[in-house]
């Protein structure tokens, strides 16, 4: 699965998902480093990377989300990965009407797993 974002919410989502058995998580962040995250989240990401449960792609941007693949751009290099789910933790207001109109299924969960 793919988690997009570089704040604490994105790191926490990636860490939680990486703990699930049989799950491989890719964390995509457009900047070169995580600048505003809690130290415990930074350490947890490093630990998940070390155990190969989490792959961090800094300086990367999502180019395409397909049915079972994603394409990222990292410094001009195209990276295509198998993928089953996407979590976007980018802040702001989600453009739900637009996403629904183009066929994206949006499921909102308020504090539930």
Angle at 74 between CA 97 and CA 47, to 5 degrees: 95
CATH of the domain at 90: 3.50.50.60
User: Where in the sequence is the domain holding 87, given as residue range(s)?
Assistant: 2-101
Residue 97 lies in a domain: yes
Q: Cβ contacts of residue 12 below 8 Å, gap of 6+? A: 41
pLDDT for 87 equals 94
Q: Which tokens is 12 given?
A: 């926490």
pLDDT for 113 equals 59
pLDDT for residue 92 is more than 80: no
The residue count of the chain comes to 113
Residue 11 lies in a domain: yes
pLDDT for 14 equals 97
Q: Cβ atoms within 10 A of the Cβ of 55, count?
A: 17
Q: Of 77-81, 87-91, 93-97, give the lowest mean pLDDT range.
A: 93-97
In the chain, the number of structural domains is: 1
pLDDT for 99 equals 82
Residue 108 lies in a domain: no
Find, among 55, 63, 58, the residue nearest to 25 by Cα: 55
**Mean pLDDT in residue range 49-69:** 95
pLDDT for 112 equals 61
Residue 9 lies in a domain: yes
Residue 74 lies in a domain: yes
The residue ranking higher by pLDDT, 107 or 8, is 8
Residue 113 lies in a domain: no
pLDDT for 33 equals 94
**Mean pLDDT in residue range 7-23:** 95
Residue 106 lies in a domain: no
Average pLDDT of the chain to the nearest whole number: 91
Residue 109 lies in a domain: no
**Mean pLDDT in residue range 77-102:** 86
Find, among 17, 23, 27, the residue nearest to 60 by Cα: 27
Token match 């415990």: residue?
40
pLDDT tens digit sequence for 60-76: 999 999 999 999 999 99
Cα-atom radius of gyration of the chain, to the nearest Å? 14
Q: Cβ contacts of residue 66 below 8 Å, gap of 6+? A: 83
């Amino acid at each position: 699965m793919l988690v997009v974002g570089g704040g604490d919410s994105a790191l926490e989502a990636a860490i939680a998902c990486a703990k699930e058995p049989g799950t491989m998580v890719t964390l995509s962040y457009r900047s070169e480093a995580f600048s505003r995250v809690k130290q415990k989240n930074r350490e947890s990401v490093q630990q998940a990377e070390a155990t190969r449960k989490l792959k961090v792609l800094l300086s990367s941007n999502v180019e395409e989300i397909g049915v079972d693949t994603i394409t990222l751009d990292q410094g001009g290099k195209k990276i295509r990965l198998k993928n089953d789910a996407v979590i976007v933790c980018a802040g702001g207001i989600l453009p739900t009407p637009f996403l629904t109109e183009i066929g994206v299924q949006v499921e909102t969960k308020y504090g539930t797993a």
